[in-house]
Chains A and B, each alone.
Chain A
Amino acid sequence: MREKWLPWALIAPTALFALAMTVVPLGYSLLTSLREFPLGRTPTFVGLQNYRVLLHDGNFLGSLGTTLWFAVAATLIEFVLGLSLALLLKDEFSFQGIIRSSLIIPMVIAPVVVGIIWRLLYNADVGLFSFIVQALTGRNLSVLSNPTLALPALILVDVWEWTPFMFLILLAGIQSLPQEPFEAARVDGATPWNVFLHLTLPMLRPVIVVAVLIRGLDAFTVFDQVFVMTQGGPGTSTEVATLMIYKTAFRFSQVGYGAAMAMALLFLVMGFSLAVTRAFRASA
């Protein structure tokens, strides 16, 4: 019977490949986290030693805090701006094709290049952003070398790049909503604000969950722009978790300890996913 094994034969390559790229490395990572493993030398098994050190590692806990702050702020701002844009652009109007296309440009530019763009803008000598800030406040701020401003500056970059993503998904969500409830509300004379609060928002909930989850998960593991723009500095003010783990494993060659940190980040990310799904389910 050919038909009997055909379905499985077609799926097998994808399933094996996917397992080889997720479950296998994750298991290996878990194993590595239980080892003292200087890159290029023989690892030794140390049990939970790495995790014990981790709990008292102020730098790492600080970096988790930076990551949390970055991810929550960026996702929240992107959601609010993306939703506003989607509401602003949901109806037919002239030039809508070209306007929508222009608005999604930032998200197709490589994050590395986005880092370059904003390095140029923020630069105190040659940057347009700095020039405008100086014209307005009279101060020449080098934003990226200022310990208090560097992280908000990076959040702004993330917002610039990824608000279009929120906008696109929420716009598609809004446009796929059934029309009848809105017509009924219009007949009843509901105000636009009430329609938004009691119709649009609740009906959009499933789309919002997915959009916030996808964007939040990516924000928790942000790396590219930070690597290009600040390398974690000044000091450790923008050292997000992925960057710190990268440095630990590949620059200071403490592979085992880096793997333990990666596991801690995994738990933080899973906690976030659970929190988001719970929050939206509870309000349902």
Chain B
Amino acid sequence: MPRLPLRARRRFWLVTRVILIILALVITLVPVYWMIATSLKTQVEVFASPPTIWPENPTVQNYVRVFARRHLGRYLFNSVIVVGTSVILSLTIGSLAAYSLARFGKDRLKQKMDFWVLAPRMIPPVALVVPMFLILHKLGLINKHLGLILVYTGFNLPFVAWMMRSFFQEIPVDLEEAAMVDGAGRLRSLRDIVLPLVAPGMVATAIFALIITYNEFFFALILTSTPAAATLPVGTAALIGKTQTLYGEMAAAGVVAAIPLVIFALLVQRHLVRGLTMGAVK
């Protein structure tokens, strides 16, 4: 191939890049759009051939139906309770451990800790779910919010402690010691000096825990099955079996389950990226 002049080559790469980026965006977004569009179509229009790209008679009847007939509101409520409680619990308990590790821990502890955070990931969830089902069954916690809250808190704790530890370490010890010299106890200096500084890190950690628990399906499926306790992913999956060819309703349920988190993730995108990547990069 004859070598093109520099300027032509640059332009060629620029155009290729732009095309590739647009292609990636289309592949990423069109499937999501398709679900939203389907959720707004009437049952007749859903089956139209060729498919209509833009809903011709947009309707919210699918949404009304999934809330009125398929308990979707109840599932949403269950999710909020379970996710909210377990995120707050794991953040509180995990931060205490993280603080302790950051302030009193030795350096060689870090490597051990990396192992203890990564090692549980190697255990297939299915190897844990059978005994958990048996144990929770004995305790009468199947189909109860509390059962799932305990399980999720336990899963979140290692990585909450791991992430928070690095945030605590970024805070100079001097600041804290100065407050303690001035007569504040360790707990008071923790509350007044350290906590405000570490707040952004807590937000990043909370977001990460929230996304994981809100989307969790496997444990929720086995540990909850009735509308009284089942979370949104379980409710949505159950609905698929019942709606058969009512694809509009299936899509509407999917939108309800996904949209809050997508909007949330876009709002906190910078924290999210930090949370997701710090483990791998640091």
Contacts and interface: CB of A to CB of B under 8 A. Distances in A.
Interface of A: 3, 6-8, 10-11, 13-15, 17-18, 20-22, 24-26, 28-29, 32, 85, 88-89, 97, 99-106, 108-113, 115-121, 123, 125-128, 131, 160, 164-165, 168-169, 172-173, 176, 207, 210-211, 213-214, 217, 220-221, 223-224, 227-228, 241-242, 245-246, 249-250, 255, 258-259, 262-263, 265-266, 269-270, 273
What 10 pairs across the A-B complex have the smallest Cβ distances? A21-B154, A28-B131, A10-B100, A14-B97, A172-B277, A110-B215, A262-B127, A7-B104, A116-B254, A25-B131
B196 interface: no
B135 A99 contact: no
Contacts of A14: 93-94, 96-97, 157-158, 161
B189 to A, nearest CB: 13
A97 B46 CA distance: 34
21 contacts: A6-B100, A17-B157, A20-B154, A21-B155, A22-B128, A28-B131, A29-B127, A85-B24, A88-B24, A105-B28, A105-B262, A109-B262, A113-B35, A160-B31, A168-B273, A173-B281, A207-B280, A207-B281, A223-B218, A227-B217, A262-B126
Contact of A110 (B32, B134, B257): B257
Given A29-B128, A104-B269, A128-B34, 10 more contacts: A21-B151, A28-B135, A29-B127, A89-B21, A105-B266, A108-B262, A128-B30, A173-B277, A224-B218, A250-B133
Given A110-B261, A269-B124, A116 B251 contact: yes
Interface stretch (B55-63, B171-179, B197-205, B233-241): B233-241
A119 to B, nearest CB: 7
Contact of A106 (B28, B121, B272): B28
B122 A102 contact: no
B47 interface: yes
A26 B131 CA distance: 8
Contacts of A164: 28
A25 B217 contact: no
Interface in B150-169: 151, 153-155, 157-158, 161
A3 B100 CA distance: 11
B122 A172 contact: no
Given A21-B155, A28-B135, A242 B124 contact: yes
Interface in B94-143: 94, 96-97, 99-101, 103-105, 116, 118, 120-128, 130-135
A172 B281 contact: yes
B184 interface: no
A20 B154 CA distance: 8
Contacts of B125: 221, 223, 242
State the majority secondary structure of interface residues on A.
helix
A168 B277 contact: yes
B214 to A, nearest CB: 7
A187 B84 CA distance: 54
A213 to B, nearest CB: 8
Contacts of B233: 110-113, 224
Contact of B46 (A24, A126, A165): A126
A88 B258 CA distance: 28
A245 B118 CA distance: 24
Contacts of B279: 210
A103 B97 contact: no
A10 B272 CA distance: 27
A246 B38 CA distance: 32
B250 interface: yes
Given A29-B130, A228-B237, A88 B250 contact: no
A10 B96 contact: yes
Contacts of A266: 122-124, 127
Nearest to A192: B13
B3 to A, nearest CB: 12
A29 B35 CA distance: 40
Given A32-B131, A116-B250, A102 B215 contact: no
A110 B235 CA distance: 12
Contacts of A109: 32, 215, 258, 261-262
B83 to A, nearest CB: 12
A207 B277 CA distance: 10
A192 B1 CA distance: 17
A131 to B, nearest CB: 6
Given A22-B128, A266-B127, A118 B280 contact: no
B265 A108 contact: yes
B216 to A, nearest CB: 8
